[in-house]
Amino acid sequence: MLEGVKGRLAGVRAKTLLGISCLVVGLIVGGLFLATRLCLFIETDQGKEVTIPVSKGDTFSLKYTHSVQKTPVAEIFTVVAADEMILDSTVYRTYGVGLPFLPGEGRFERQGDNFILTGLGRRFAKVAVHAGSEAGLVLEADNMVVPLYALHEGGAFVTIRVKPYYYRWLRNP
Phi then psi dihedrals of residue 79, to 5 deg: -75, 125
Domain ranges of the chain: 1-36, 38-170
On whether the CB atoms of residues 146 and 42 are closer than 8 A, the answer is yes
Q: What is the pTM of this model?
A: 0.77
Q: Would you write out the chain's pLDDT as a tens digit for each of its 173 residues?
A: 556 655 665 666 666 665 666 555 555 545 544 456 999 999 988 888 899 999 999 999 999 987 766 788 999 999 999 999 999 999 987 665 555 555 667 788 888 888 888 999 999 999 999 887 878 899 999 889 999 988 877 667 899 999 999 888 876 55
Q: Report yes or no: 115 and 130 within 8 Å, Cβ to Cβ.
A: no
Of 120, 37, 47, the closest CA to residue 86 belongs to: 120
Contacts of residue 73, defined as CB under 8 A and 6 or more positions apart, other chains included, come to: 63, 64, 65, 66, 90, 91, 92, 99
3-state secondary structure (DSSP) of residue 22: helix
Please state, in angstroms and rounded to a whole number, the distance separating the CA atoms of residues 49 and 51.
Answer: 7
